Structure 1
Amino acid sequence: MISRAALARNAQQAVRRSWAARPAQQRTLASAASSSGAFETSDGSGLKVASRDSHGPTTKLAIVAKAGTRFQPLPGLTVGLEEYAFKNTQRRTALRITRESELLGGQLASSHTREALILEASFLRDDLPYFAELLAEVVSMTKYTTHEFHEEIEPVLRIKQNNFYNNVAALALDNAHSVAFHTGLGSSVYPTPSTPSKKYLNEEYIASFADAVYTKPSLALVADGASSQDVSKWVGQFFNDVQSSAQSGQKFDATATKYYGGEQRTTHTGGNAMVIAFPGSAYTAPKPEVAVLAALLGGKSTIKWSTGYSLLSKATSDVVGLNVSASNIPYSDAGLLAVQLSGPAASVRAGAEATVKSLESIANGSVPKEEVAKAVANAKFNALDATQLREPSLHLVGSGIVNTGKAYEPASLVQGIEKVSAESLKNAAKALLEGKASVSSVGDLFLLPYAEQLGLRV
């Protein structure tokens, strides 16, 4: 066992190394911030890098890997890779990583989406060298040990699986993706609790997956709160050990996404939820009408003490206990315009009926132009606001880079949103209703309606 004195010496050395790497002149908080808020992109030693300097006292650094559930060859590998992050590496133990990061005031996290695995560190600006080195170690030197898998990975995975499948809203959205896309983007973000872990998930399979996805072409390093010069400097120093290609030669790519549509109904005693979804807007081919439709349908008020202008907030204002919201969920080559509803079964049913009626009113052209103008303004704000918020912007930029080769830029979407008219919205809503919907119901299936009862095609 490492002695407390030895651990303290290691942590102190890490701090001294970080202090020694500080530039002679520091920017002050009074420095002018970037007016555009855009990320600068570059290629450092084969690794895609994006950075934005907000000139603040803290920095967020993230590795975004093309390793989301869409790309995993077996269920659970993405989650396994997420849980192994910041555990033992060839240079540091998990305990040392924890103690050193805490001593520097840093925060470490790992998460995943359907298209990306995100490893991120938040810290004081001057400690960039230490955390850049740490992230490089995680993707190039993590030890995928058997004892950690059985003692730490499996128990946590079971807890997360059960939490996920007890969350009816999350389960309904997961099922909607399944009927919409089948495989790929339709793969569950968590394997079912009944999935035999020994059949699909063990430390060897996870290590093999890591070998394929922790390669420079599949990674992007994104920094918010650091200059591009500083980021490039430490990338050149610490990321040389990251593989340029998989040692085993294997590569996991996803086929192009195809939208199917359909319906799935799941009995659940933990609550009630429905998702009514349609083909949405992708990163690579933004559909401004979809963004405006999501804002026009809405569901939640954007102004305190106000019901809100959106169609669903008005239509369901007297429905007790209902939570409803419409949004576009974008991916690299597809998207899902989803209306999510949860609450008492009777309220969810009323909300689902209101959703279809609201879409029909848009398709009939009966929505006042003033309401359309409000939706256009709100959709524009949502698109721009997502690029300013630190965590969402890092995920958007990183996912865009690893999946499409370039950072996500909202400019073309915003320009398109400004041109959306009532007529174009009418045509878009009509096309959605004439096509196939993806409907997922979880809860009391006696009360929750079928898609056919709502007048939807599946």
Structure 2
Amino acid sequence: MLAHRRATSSFLHTARRTLATVADSGFASSTVEGVKLATKEVDTPISTLSFVVKAGSRYSTTPGVAHALERYAFQNTKTRSALRITRESEFLGASFSPSLSRDAIVLTAEFLKDDLAYFFEVLSDVFARPHLARHELAEVVGTLLKLDSTAAAADPSVAVTEALHLAAYRRGLGLPLYAQPSDSISATSVSDYKDIVYTKANLAIVGSGISLDKLSPLVADFLEDAPAGTDVPLPSSPFYAGDVRVPSTAGNAVALGYATSSSAPEFAVLAALLGGTPSIKWSYGSSLLATATQGKAVASLTPYAGSSLFKIIASAGSAEDTSAAAAAAASVLKSVASKPVSSDDLKKAIAQAKFAAVSPLEGKPGLTATGVSLLTTGAVPDTAAILSALDSVTAEKVKSAAEAVVSKVAVAAVGKVAELPYADELL
């Protein structure tokens, strides 16, 4: 009967799937039974499969609920116990991992290629049939939430990044990634959130080392009873220039930030130009921030659906040294805003920006990025378009980007905040 059901469902899904397309990134994409799919065939014995769900912290209906739902992953489902999932994955030689970002909850399995059907079924159970028991929240999930939030608060760079999102966005992308001790999270609130976001309309399934022809029939086989749902709208996240200060004994850090559109090649080049992250271990590098701060300040651009956050993070141990690093970083930024950079510096920054933009599209991070792109734009990332946009950046555009940051900046400080600078003291 099972074989007959699968044969029948495979026939039905074939009639209802969209025509597959292959992007320059190597991903073939399609839509089956309302679920967006993308796969990249790689000649390796290991396959990786990710269920990417439009359910990140920016979509939270109550504070901390997205974090709790992510931590419920691979607990008991209505058809499998957590112990069974663990024992079977060990028996087959594989691993499961959940992750949370502001854009998505991602359920990932890595396994031997021949075991695709089994691991697709398990991920389907976790997605479509979670149990979400009250005792799991009290005994397991709640403990994991505390561990995550405590670890984040103990790392000044993570803590200041969280504070910077609040200063820059307030709500939407400004919502905390991690549950806070003050959050009122119940099994009911998690279940209500699950009902909204764990639907086919908000799911993209992305695989590496898997062919689209082998993946497509499994949607009808194992997600037949998953709710269709409706597409969760992208919450508005306008940019605000604010100052957020978080007292902490874990260390000191200061962050400057500016939010721009999701397509922001000039800010990617500005981040690469300022730099700070060495390309060779035990070396500060030769970027502007590396030279000015001896590796105590780093610039980067974090892309999200609908927005990108440009940021500079200074962290140097003591409050005095961190303040000096932040001031030096601000001075470098103002110098870039005052005159166009040289052609050689621009050429180097564009090359580094290309690498920074394309490298996250590989490996497990690439599966997540591809899934988020499918859910928010309907297509996989266009690598050629990304590289072309970076090639079109001019020195004048980089100068204008720096001017924008200098004129309207969000600042966050973590640590001995009485000794750390405010926004108007930096720029």
Q: TM-score, normalised by structure 2?
A: 0.91
Question: Is 2:285 aligned against 1:308?
Answer: yes
CA offset at residue 335 of structure 1?
1.2
Within 5 A, what are the aligned runs for 1:2-151?
A: 36-151=24-139
Match of 1:186 among 174, 180, 183: 174
Question: Is 2:415 aligned against 1:431?
Answer: no
Q: Secondary structure at the match of 1:232?
A: helix
Change (3 A) 1:142 1:307: closer
CA offset at residue 252 of structure 1?
5.3
Question: Is 2:273 aligned against 1:296?
Answer: yes
Per mean C-alpha deviation after superposition, the further-off stretch among 297-306 and 407-416 is 297-306
Structure 1 CA distance for aligned equivalents of residues 52 and 355 of structure 2:
26
Match of 1:222 among 206, 209, 220: 206
CA offset at residue 339 of structure 1?
0.8
CA offset at residue 370 of structure 1?
1.2
Structure 2 unmatched runs, 5+? 1-21
The residue identity in structure 2 corresponding to 1:270 is A
TM-align CA RMSD: 1.8
Identical columns (%): 36
Per mean C-alpha deviation after superposition, the further-off stretch among 61-70 and 200-209 is 200-209
Structure 2 CA distance for aligned equivalents of residues 81 and 164 of structure 1:
18
- Is 2:55–2:197's contact at 8 Å kept on the other side of the alignment? yes
Match of 1:357 among 331, 334, 337: 331
- Is 1:280–1:328's contact at 8 Å kept on the other side of the alignment? no
Q: TM-score, normalised by structure 1?
A: 0.85
The aligned length equals 405
Q: Secondary structure at the match of 1:50?
A: strand
CA offset at residue 185 of structure 1?
0.6
Q: Secondary structure at the match of 1:325?
A: strand
Within 5 A, what are the aligned runs for 1:196-345?
A: 200-245=184-229, 253-282=233-262, 286-303=263-280, 306-317=283-294, 323-344=296-317, 345=319
- What do the CA deviations read for 1:223-259 (whole angstroms, capped 9, x no partner)? 011111111122232121211127xxxx854432211
Change (3 A) 1:307 1:153: closer
2:15 is matched with which residue?
none
- Is 1:50–1:223's contact at 8 Å kept on the other side of the alignment? yes
Match of 1:382 among 346, 349, 356: 356
CA offset at residue 305 of structure 1?
6.3
Change (3 A) 1:305 1:204: closer
Q: Secondary structure at the match of 1:70?
A: helix
- Is 1:69–1:185's contact at 8 Å kept on the other side of the alignment? yes
The residue identity in structure 2 corresponding to 1:308 is G
- Is 1:353–1:454's contact at 8 Å kept on the other side of the alignment? yes
- What do the CA deviations read for 1:421-443 (whole angstroms, capped 9, x no partner)? 21221122122212x21100001
Q: Secondary structure at the match of 1:240?
A: coil
- What do the CA deviations read for 1:341-365 (whole angstroms, capped 9, x no partner)? 2222222212211221111221122
Structure 2 CA distance for aligned equivalents of residues 339 and 170 of structure 1:
13
CA offset at residue 50 of structure 1?
0.8
- Is 1:60–1:123's contact at 8 Å kept on the other side of the alignment? yes
Question: Is 2:334 aligned against 1:346?
Answer: no
Structure 2 CA distance for aligned equivalents of residues 41 and 422 of structure 1:
37
Structure 1 CA distance for aligned equivalents of residues 59 and 283 of structure 2:
43
Structure 2 CA distance for aligned equivalents of residues 235 and 445 of structure 1:
52
Change (3 A) 1:205 1:306: closer
The residue identity in structure 2 corresponding to 1:273 is A
Question: Is 2:370 aligned against 1:402?
Answer: no
Structure 1 unmatched runs, 5+? 1-33
